[in-house]
Structure 1
Amino acid sequence: MSDVGTSSEARLSSDSAAPAPQPEFPSLTEATRTWARIALLSFGGPAGQIAVMHRILVEEKRWIGDGRFLHALNFCMLLPGPEAQQLATYIGWLMHGTRGGLIAGALFVLPGVVAIMALSWLYALYGDVGLVEALFFGLKAAILAIVLQAVVRIGRRALKNDAMRVLAVLSFLAIFAFDAPFPLIVLTAALVGFLGARTGLRAFAPGGGHGSVGGAHVDDAETLLGEEMAEMPAAARRSALKAGVAAIALWLAPVALLVLALGGGNVFAEIAVFFSKMAVVTFGGAYAVLAYVAQEAVGTYGWLRPGEMLDGLGMAETTPGPLIMVLQFVGFIGAFREAGWDSALLAGTLGGLLTTWVTFAPCFAFIFLGAPYMERLRANRDLSAALTAVTASVVGVILNLAIWFAIHVIWREVQRIEAGPLSLELPVLGSIDWIAATLSALALVAVFRLKLGMTTVLAGAAALGIVLYAAGVLA
């Protein structure tokens, strides 16, 4: 689910360095400045974000050691939601309690909230301007290649045996050909993994995980937070549990009030309920959940057109913060179009902020409720097997996302086929857009053959779109 390694027992390693004196414990003010710096540098998806955190917190500040960092990451990988943001929240909590966790987690999201909101405003106001359309036309080709890269990267790590490969194939068929809900796929895969572990099947035995992030080895003894911690004091457990319960209340209370006050058919109530459901099944990262969000936001609710989902993902890929921030764009456009307010921009702004709230409030709840007991959670073999199965199923779900994007980027027309339980979209082959197909092929070469970085590919694709528009190739 993350992009950061292959062995939960591995340790970050390089040439050993001379022991360094233990650093002084930072004040909350100093920690806040550091978390703000990490947030502003958190580009490139979870792998890049976690690498930035490791470089600053482990190598530079020596606030936490390699072992403890990976230990915390493994815990966050057991939870739904963006693992990098939750890792920041957890380490902030370890250092400065509930306040530290809230500051670290909120700052990790804040730059993305501001950036996506600004881009959403520009998109709503100027999205039909030729130059802007050309820029996003190019970005779509790059996003297609990046999603396919995610399929390959996660597949190499997750599909270690035939059982995992079968789970991936069945998950792909379930969502692509039978329109199965993403939450049902996740729950079914988790149940298969759990039962597989309980019955002793070797395919579901513990193995693999999250190992090397990169960088120099830092001994836990030289840092503020060692690998192993003493038993959590009862007062600290109570404080964390209270914060977790408060986070759940602050998450669910607005959802209930919106549904009761506005009715289930109101766009704000729909946004609150739909994205709350997403918050508890977002195993596998943003790419996995986006497959389901794209289907629902476009097909069921009609909030977006197919190509606009790619536009939003392009925004999230090129701004700091978790990729799941693309959901804020979805909520913004949904409320912008469906609220029926005189000020559509105000409606969109509130819709986007509501989406962000119900997406990230659960993340704080999960951390504060689970952190005091992370050792027991991480050591649970049945739970690990369930998550292993979910990771395998996510490969199939992300493949569906890539194919869905390809159909709507490369072809101008699609047709839906319905036959009993079968329900799928296929392209009208004669409607192929050769310019989009060529740009997509170039992006695939750049990603898989030339091994160019994500930022370079995105910038190059956007520039090509603008060049084609200036040359009169794009209308």
Structure 2
Amino acid sequence: MTDSESFTHVQPVYSLKQLTQYFLKLGTLGFGGPIALVGYMHRDLVEERQWVSEAEYQEGLTLAQVAPGPLAAQLSFYLGYVHYGFLGSALVGFAFVLPSFLIVVALGWAYTLYGGLNWMQAVFYGVGAAVIGIIAISAYKLTRKTVGTSWLLWSVYLVNAVTTIVTESERVELILGSGALVLFIKFPPKHWIKQNRLNSFIGLPLIPLLAAVPTATTSLLGQIALFFTQAGAFVFGSGLAIVPFLYGGVVKDFGWLNSQQFLDAVAVAMITPGPVVITTGFIGFLVAGFPGACVAAIAMFIPCYLLTVIPAPYFKKHGKNPKISTFVNGVTVAATGAIAGAVVVLGRQSLHDLPTFLIGLIALISSWKLGKKLPEPLIIVIAAIAGVIFWPKQ
């Protein structure tokens, strides 16, 4: 039996139609960001319905953390692959992403049509400030979870945070290099030769380098496809990890959006269900209409899909290798540092007067102290009302 066959030899107790319907519902009603979404999957598919074993779920979650891309979407790809292979993975992923994509396209249309009106500008005046507070507390929680007390990891974290603040963009080469540095320090190359296990752990770190080589083009859609393919192939960590990467490209490099429009796009991702990175569809719509939304979303998720299902059999066999775990840990800490730096970069753009500072501070405290009692979409709605009340250009 081959590795790929080991996923499907057990007869599932559910149909592909049932699994697809579940993820269509989750993509429609699943609020709360990547951590909440993967929690729903565990509760529903492992604990309650018992469609997926604990071991299969944990393997999928680990691979989703190892490979670049959005955590919740990658876990959905993997769970679809477990018993129904490539077709199951594709259908499940499409069902999970489609509802939120349609929502952000509709919001993009409304934003484009009414963005010049005072009431919409006032709404995003408050929402943009609240987003800073939410991202800040998320970055704090990620920092506590990933960095620990290691001086090496803190050094990696701080270097990436400061670099993001100074350059106002995420440096992918620095993040990947951070993973390699941590690996080299904890596992010097002499041990690789001695153990003769080099080929057993270098495959996955090289995957994102091989995947992000799309054909260059001078057209706008070609630029969108190229940029978002790189985003899908290089962004590690939670959904928020994409924020500094997108800001560097969309605002700084290409100038497709200004800082306020970018913050509005992040806010839209937070008030819609499904994966946070669906903000790419909103951005694509603002840049090039519906074709831009489609190209951006497809380019974002195709690398994530391939980087989940192609190494899946390999990872099932070798995923617990300590060298892979060490590389991933270094990359995750570096990405977390970039998120922390992005809070500063975006905060300078959005918190520019007393009302926005207070809205951001209240959103941060609410996210920290109230947690599940006050979900992020509700915080965004309250911030929108505050924006209408306190917007200075009335």
Q: TM-score, normalised by structure 2?
A: 0.86
CA contact (8 A) 2:231 2:242 kept: yes
How far 1:98 moved relative to its partner? 2.0
Sort the Cα spacing of 1:180 and 1:455 in 2 relative to 1 into closer, same or farther, 3 A.
closer
Structure-2 residue corresponding to 1:309:
262
Secondary structure in structure 1 of the residue aligned to 2:311:
helix
Pair 1:326-2:279 in alignment = yes
Alignment of 1:76-95 (within 5 A): 76-95=64-83
Sort the Cα spacing of 1:31 and 1:109 in 2 relative to 1 into closer, same or farther, 3 A.
same
CA contact (8 A) 1:170 1:396 kept: yes
Pair 1:434-2:354 in alignment = yes
Larger radius of gyration: 1
Distance 1:450 1:131 in 2: 29
Structure-1 residue corresponding to 2:124:
136
CA contact (8 A) 1:92 1:104 kept: yes
How far 1:179 moved relative to its partner? 5.3
Sort the Cα spacing of 1:178 and 1:439 in 2 relative to 1 into closer, same or farther, 3 A.
closer
How far 1:178 moved relative to its partner? 4.3
Pair 1:175-2:183 in alignment = no
Of 410, 417, 420 in structure 1, the residue corresponding to residue 351 of structure 2 is: 410
Sort the Cα spacing of 1:191 and 1:121 in 2 relative to 1 into closer, same or farther, 3 A.
same
Distance 2:87 2:386 in 1: 46
Task: Output one character per residue of 1:286-306: Cα deviation in whole Å (capped at 9) or x when no partner.
Answer: 322211211221122110010
Pair 1:48-2:40 in alignment = no
What fraction of aligned residue pairs are identical, expressed as a percent? 25
How far 1:61 moved relative to its partner? 1.3
Task: Output one character per residue of 1:40-95: Cα deviation in whole Å (capped at 9) or x when no partner.
Answer: 22211111111111121112211113333122211221111112111111111112
Secondary structure in structure 2 of the residue aligned to 1:119:
helix
Alignment of 1:320-469 (within 5 A): 320-335=273-288, 348-411=289-352, 433-451=353-371, 452-468=374-390
**Which amino acid in the other structure matches residue 41 of structure 1?**
L
Secondary structure in structure 2 of the residue aligned to 1:280:
helix
**Which amino acid in the other structure matches residue 458 of structure 1?**
I
CA contact (8 A) 1:288 1:398 kept: yes
CA RMSD for the aligned pairs?
2.3
CA contact (8 A) 2:160 2:334 kept: yes
CA contact (8 A) 1:41 1:52 kept: no
Secondary structure in structure 1 of the residue aligned to 2:52:
coil
Distance 1:283 1:442 in 2: 29
Distance 2:356 2:37 in 1: 30
Q: TM-score, normalised by structure 1?
A: 0.72
- Unaligned segments of structure 1, at least 5 residues: 1-21, 201-243, 336-347, 412-432
Secondary structure in structure 2 of the residue aligned to 1:138:
helix
**Which amino acid in the other structure matches residue 364 of structure 2?**
L
Larger % of helix: which? Answer: 2
Sort the Cα spacing of 1:85 and 1:460 in 2 relative to 1 into closer, same or farther, 3 A.
same
CA contact (8 A) 2:161 2:338 kept: yes
CA contact (8 A) 2:251 2:257 kept: yes
Secondary structure in structure 1 of the residue aligned to 2:319:
helix
Pair 1:196-2:213 in alignment = no
Of 101, 107, 131 in structure 2, the residue corresponding to residue 119 of structure 1 is: 107
Distance 1:60 1:391 in 2: 31
Distance 2:358 2:232 in 1: 36
Structure-2 residue corresponding to 1:299:
252
Pair 1:153-2:94 in alignment = no
**Which amino acid in the other structure matches residue 262 of structure 2?**
M
